[in-house]
Structure 1
Amino acid sequence: MELLTETNNGYVPLYRQIKRLITDALVTGEWAPGQPIPSEIELAQRYKVSQGTVRKAISELASQKLVVRHQGKGTFVASHLNEPTKFPFLRLAPDTGSLVDVDADLIDFWRIKLDEESAANLSVAAGSTGWLIRRILAPEGAETIYEEIRLPGQPFDIVDEKTILNHNCMLYSMYEAEFGIRILRVEERVKAVLVEGEIVDRLGLLDGSPLLRVDRVAYTYGDHPVELRRSYCNTSNHHYQNQII
């Protein structure tokens, strides 16, 4: 293992270097989501640094929700399968009350050629083979969100409709359980649009209805994009809610 001392921007703190090395191990799948990572003592021996340096690196990883500490059990790689909500990045909330349950229903699933814009967002070549998943999200049973999700052919080379349905169309848990891919962060662009045709039909609305369009790119380890999603949201009884810290 070779630790850095400086970059073009100056000194790199030792704990940040250890954090990078631990993250690299997550990227390569050395420790899978939901599995424990070695103890602070073991990591200190592995990287030939103090236990305090390792502790500081893990604290930063925990603050970024890459790992989770469990008192008396150790530190585990964060997992969507253990999260209390099935849709950790869903920002649509009901105008009254709280969001309790959301159903996801698959419309269809296709192998496609990724257009130039989609390919650029996914950092692959235009015309590359990919997948298109269309689904409806129904908070509290009310069909409210129409979604088109595009995936690159790699690493999703063996995804199929049966696998999607086996996971009840819960995609982030499917990515993790079937492909070892955990979504760490997303970037969203939100815009109000007037919509016609199949989208409004599926949401039980009239042509020309105003919807909130949310374009999302989802990233995994190494800040690598793995999913492009466009959602059309009926905000008659819901609103977009986000918390900025």
Structure 2
Amino acid sequence: MDVNPGFVLECRPMSPPFPSPHPVTPLNELARAEATPAFSPLYRQIKGLILAGLQAGEWKAGETIPSEMELAGRFGVSQGTVRKAVDELAAENLLVRRQGKGTFVATHAEQQQQFRFLRLTPDAGASATLGRQLLDCRRQRAPAWIARQMNLRAGDPVIEIRRLLHSGGEPVVLDDIWLPGAMFKGLTAERLREHRGPFYGLLETEFGVHMIRAQEKIRAVAADVEVAGLLQVSPGSPLLSVERLSFTYGDKPVELRRGLYNTTHHFYRNDLQ
């Protein structure tokens, strides 16, 4: 397969990992440390404590977190400080505010979150839910090149998934996905076929793994004979290759994906801020 030099996209909806929220650092110690030049602002420390709670599973995807008043009391700071921390987490798509209902942990099961990491858009019309066709799901030993990217050891168990995504009845994406086997025990081809919601939603609800950011490498490639047959294009047709490494809390890589996109009637959209 001929490969042209590509470029790297990196989506970062989070800050680096922070320490556990238990025990909570007293306010006087936070204030004292804040006076030192190298110390982060107080609201950033509160943001870190909330992040640590998310990482520890104290509040799961889709669940509400305590109110700003409750968090202010818990951490011994003002509501304004908590509000600023929550605002940043909401801007990074880790929390979702709902008027009159509270603040919730973002989940890929929600409609507005489903396409955060999948930006294939039809040339005409809005994005629609893509049909899925599972081609293969197997457990294998991680080769060295996969182990390196996922912080595993060569030979560690991984789950390899191959699937086609369809739009309007036509195949538009061929996905090869690798997941750490130790984190996803019980994930089988049968379970994947049964699940009707988003793939990341399944990983959240059944395995407690929430994808919060992704790094992508994008390049142009030519379809080989096997890929051309699956995507129903001519051998040598231009495709968009998207290699994505997805991370959960603590900047831990938990998914490696290589997608081949047929962009004859679609384009890859990226919103930059």
AA partner of residue 212 (structure 1): L
- How many angstroms apart in 1 are the aligned matches of 2:240 and 2:167? 16
Q: Distance in 1 between matches of 2:34 and 2:103?
A: 29
The 2-side partners of 1:218 and 1:9 are apart by 34
Which amino acid in the other structure matches residue 149 of structure 2?
Answer: N
Amino acid of the residue matched to residue 64 of structure 2? Answer: P
Q: Which is bigger in relative contact order (C-alpha 8 A, separation at least 6)?
A: 2
Give yes or no for the alignment of 1:78 onto 2:109. no
**Residue aligning to 1:231:** 259
Q: 1:45 aligns with which of 64, 73, 85?
A: 73
Is 31-40 or 83-92 further displaced after alignment? 83-92
Q: Distance in 1 between matches of 2:128 and 2:60?
A: 29
Note closer, same or farther for the CA distance 1:228–1:7 as it changes in structure 2 (3 Å cut): farther
Q: How many residues align?
A: 245
Q: Which amino acid aligns with 1:209?
A: S
SS in 2 for 1:57: helix
Supply the distance in 2 between the matched residues of 1:34 and 1:102 (Cα, whole angstroms).
23
1:214-240 Cα offsets, whole Å, 9 max, x none, are: 100111112211100000111111222
Is residue 162 of structure 2 the alignment partner of residue 162 of structure 1? Answer: no
**1:116/1:22 Cα in 2 relative to 1: closer, same or farther (>3 Å)?**
same
Q: Which residue of 2 aligns with 1:243?
A: 271
- What's the RMSD between the two structures over aligned residues? 1.9
**Structure 2 CA distance, aligned partners of 1:240 and 1:20?**
33
SS in 2 for 1:207: coil
Contact (CA 8 Å) 2:107, 2:113: kept in 1 or not?
Answer: no
Does residue 119 of structure 2 align to residue 91 of structure 1? yes
Could you say which residue in structure 2 is the equivalent of 1:140?
Answer: 168
Per the alignment, do residues 204 and 168 of structure 1 end up closer, same or farther by CA in structure 2, a change over 3 Å counting? same
The CA deviation string for residues 93-134 of structure 1, in whole angstroms up to 9 with x for no partner, is 222233223111111101011112211211111221000000
Paired with 1:241 and 1:143, the residues of 2 have a C-alpha distance of 18
Against the structure 1 CA distance between its residues 86 and 10, is the aligned structure 2 distance closer, same or farther, given a 3 Å change threshold? closer
Give ranges in structure 2 of 5+ residues lacking alignment. Answer: 1-23
1:64 aligns with 2:105: no
Q: TM-score if structure 1 supplies the norm length? A: 0.93
The AA in structure 1 aligned to 2:89 is L
Q: Quote the Cα distance in structure 1 between the aligned partners of 2:124 and 2:214.
A: 26
Residue 170 of structure 1: CA displacement? 3.2
Aligned to 2:58: 30
For residues 98 and 163 of structure 1, what CA distance do their matches in structure 2 show?
29
Q: Could you tell me the TM-score, scaled by structure 2's length?
A: 0.84
- Counterpart amino acid of residue 165 in structure 2: L
Per-residue CA distance 1:181-230 (angstroms, 9 max, x = gap) = 12111111111111213221111122222211110011111221110000
Deviation at 1:20, TM superposition (A): 0.4
